[in-house]
Amino acid sequence: MEWYAAVDLGATNTRALVADTDGTAHGRARRPTPQADGQAITRAVVATLERARDAAGVAPDALAAIGVGSIGPLDTDAGAVVAPPNVPADRIELEAALSERTGAPVTLRNDAIAGVRGERRFTDAPENTVYLTLSTGVGAGVAVDGHVLHGHRGNAAEVGHLSLVPGGRPCGCGGTGHWEAYCSGAGIAAHARSLATDHPTRLDPDELDAAAVFAAADPDTVTASVAETDAVERLSTDLPEAPPDGEGDALATRVVADAVRVNARGVAALAHAYAPELISVGGTVALSNSDLLVDPLPDLLATAGLAVPAPDVRETPLDGDAVIRGALASVLPE
Ligand SMILES: [Zn+2]
């Protein structure tokens, strides 16, 4: 029996699994990603992999290959993450550390590129598929004519840093108006926090994260507010009125409505750039709020005046496993 390992290094969680040649998982492990320097994160990745290997009952030197799906940006030549905007580390060494420790070859992929591999290998995703992740960050992985695009140093389709809002909010990368600044977990929280200095809100600025914003938003007002304006061309300038029964928080509702609009712009950009037949959406922010963030996308695309046929849009059937499954797919035998 040959054994294969996969790692999903996210900004929030680090996960590992060990599987057989068919891709059946025999051991898994998970821990929060240390919000610390690169060495601490590298140590956490190695430890998580070793726990998954122990859980599978596999000997330390018995792994045939390791696939890693990681937050970016990457330098795949060096096998490392360089200057990631969503964790405090400057550089995270992955390939050398993991192969030194295990003796196995390591394949490093950006998390969303791993995600599209997972879609192609383990679901019915067609040859022209985009995997879009809305998580701590935003990114995409793209298959065109069945080929997964990797790009220079493994950074193809880092679409979270597409500029979608002229003169818009600052992004964690230093740019402005980027997709990620409105639609990632970190961006949604930061958007709410910045509006809270000038607008009344029931949100507690000290406890503010994307989950709190979604919990406080009024879904009906979000839907009505997005339908009212041209979703792809305009962002709201005014806060939508809170519903009369006072259930929703106007600021949270505005932030979610902006996320829906910017998402529609981004997905339209993906459709024009890559002509996908399917856009499959994953990542914790999307999966926890798919009624607001994923379900409206087909209708929004239908009214967006695309110059290309509109793709199908769905929630990934791999749930939270798209990246780790794709990391595995990048090392399993065909
Ligand atoms: Zn950016």
Question: 294 CA to middle of ligand 1, Å?
Answer: 22
CA 323 to chain centre: 9
Provide mean pLDDT across the span 98-126.
96
Question: 159 CA to middle of ligand 1, Å?
Answer: 9
CA distance 138 to 102: 31
Q: In what order do the strands lie in the sheet with 3-9?
A: 25-32, 13-19, 3-9, 63-70, 106-110
Question: 263 CA to middle of ligand 1, Å?
Answer: 14
Helix (H) or strand (E) holding 51: helix 38-56
Question: 174 CA to middle of ligand 1, Å?
Answer: 6
The two structure tokens encoding residue 154: 């493994």
Tally the residues of the chain. Answer: 334
Buried b (16+ CB within 10 A) or exposed e, 248-274: bbbbbbbbbbbbbbbbbbbbbbbbebb
Provide mean pLDDT across the span 234-248.
67
Torsion of CA 204, 35, 7, 210, to 10 degrees: 10
Model confidence over 155-168: pLDDT tens digits?
A: 899 999 999 999 89
Give the fold, CATH level 3, of 127-316.
Nucleotidyltransferase; domain 5 (3.30.420)
Provide mean pLDDT across the span 188-194.
95
Model confidence over 32-86: pLDDT tens digits?
A: 999 999 999 999 999 999 999 999 999 999 999 999 999 988 999 999 999 988 8
Superfamily the domain 3-120+320-329 falls into: ATPase, nucleotide binding domain (3.30.420.40)
What is the predicted pLDDT for the residue at 234? 59
Tell me the domain boundaries of the chain: 3-120+320-329, 127-316
**Cβ proximity of 255 and 195 under 8 Å:** yes
Helix (H) or strand (E) holding 65: strand 63-70
Q: How many CA atoms lie within 13 A of 76 on its CB side?
A: 18
For residue 247, name the pLDDT band (cuts at 50, 70, 90).
confident
What is the predicted pLDDT for the residue at 242? 64
Q: What are the CA-CA distances from residue 101 to residues 42, 60, 183 (Å)? A: 11, 9, 37
Question: 84 CA to middle of ligand 1, Å?
Answer: 11
Question: 240 CA to middle of ligand 1, Å?
Answer: 27
Question: 175 CA to middle of ligand 1, Å?
Answer: 5
Do 3-120+320-329 and 127-316 agree at the fold level?
yes
Question: 25 CA to middle of ligand 1, Å?
Answer: 35
